[in-house]
Amino acid sequence: MWGVCGTLQVVPTQFQIMRHFLSTVDWNRDDLQALLDQAAELRQHRVTDQLKGRTIALLFLNPSLRTRSSFEIGAFQLGAHAVVLEPGKAAWGIEFEPGVVMDGDAEEHIAEVAGVLSRYCDAIGLRAFPLFKDWSSDRQDKVIRSLAAHASVPVINMETIVHPCQELALMRTIQDHLGQPDGKKFVLTWTWHPRPLNTAVANSALMIASKFGMNVTLLVPHDDYLLDEQFMDAAYANADASGGSLDISTDIESSYQGANFVYAKSWGALPLYGRPEEEARLREPFRHFMVDGKKMAMTDNALFSHCLPLRRNIKATDEVMDADYCVAQDEAENRLHVQKALMLELMGP
């Protein structure tokens, strides 16, 4: 029998409890720190055979540069093999809803996909962005949950409405440059973008910085850009537990002042989810939230980062992206090391 505890699904196997990596909500700080420490070790010893003969399937419903390459290369460096599948392109389209009459485009159901891949592989990764129509549905993260419900091997979230692998890379990068994160000021600033984007990285940045004791400021141009209450509540609870804090601000100057780390991301306003033209009108006056040298000069010699991809001179200026304080490529590199640590944890002996 499968046990379900909150968002953590555990499957008793013959010798141990199987664990998914769907969200860091389900992982405590010590367990995450162990992954971060392992990632630092793996950075020093890149090629090993610790996962020799093992396999991971990577299901991409959306495009990727960093996630796909870092998982594929990471698996190779550990002696494992990664199979990349793009359902709806070079693999059959998948139906995720239970109990439907499958007379649409999808050729097979997640029940069979998860079951078959569990016979072949030691883990399954999935990228499934929300559909940008109905937030009340998308906020339930049903696609990855249905995969986890049908799989009998660990499932890794490669970005849905959260991006937990990016969280690990961000925190590895913060610790590489700032040491202990506790008490450091972390500013998550919204930035303008030509279209409303996923809230996943913003949700994740908020949760990991608060979990690791940082004093977090969420800088938004308007209340409609606050994040879903499940993530705001998780961040407040994290801050209570870690001794950190979470403040919300619409004031650029006071937010940047004293910052140790500035993290930029663009996302759409949830009250206007699925209504992109209205959302664009709300967003239009806020292009000045772009991160530039003048704003960074207000900080306490802060580092700057972004998950990438990033449109230069839209989200951050060339000056910021080319500055010594920009650690976005360090964070991208750390995707490789933290995901190797994660694969070792979930797929290892």
Our CB check for ligand CP shows the closer of 67 and 157 to be 67
Q: Which residues bind ligand CP (CB under 6 A)?
A: 64-67, 159, 166, 307-309
C-alpha closest to that of 71 among 258, 336, 254, 260: 336
Rounded-to-integer distance, Cα 135 and Cα 272, Å? 9
* DSSP secondary structure, 206-268, as one string: HHHHHHTT-EEEEE-SSGGGPPPHHHHHHHHHHHHHHT-EEEEE--HHHHHTT-SEEEEE---
Report helix, strand or coil for 279.
Answer: helix
Q: How far is the CB of 49 from ligand CP (least distance, A)?
A: 26
CB 258, min distance to ligand CP, A = 27
Question: DSSP assignment of 147-183, as one string?
Answer: HHHH-SS-EEESSSS--HHHHHHHHHHHHHHHSS-TT
User: What letter would DSSP give residue 349?
Assistant: -
How near is the Cβ of 338 to ligand CP at its closest, in Å?
12
Closest contact distance (angstroms) between CB of 67 and ligand CP is 3
Smaller CB distance to ligand CP: residue 194 or 285? Answer: 194
For ligand CP, the closer CB: 74 or 244: 74
Closer to ligand CP by CB, 118 or 166: give it.
Answer: 166
* Contact of 87 with 59, CB cutoff 8 Å: yes
Q: Which is nearer to ligand CP, 67 or 118 (CB)?
A: 67
SS3 299: coil
Residue 200 CB, nearest distance to ligand CP (Å)?
Answer: 9
Phi then psi for residue 334, to 5 deg, are -65, -20
31, two tokens: 């367990």
Minimum Å gap between C-beta 300 and ligand CP is 26
Smaller CB distance to ligand CP: residue 88 or 309? 309
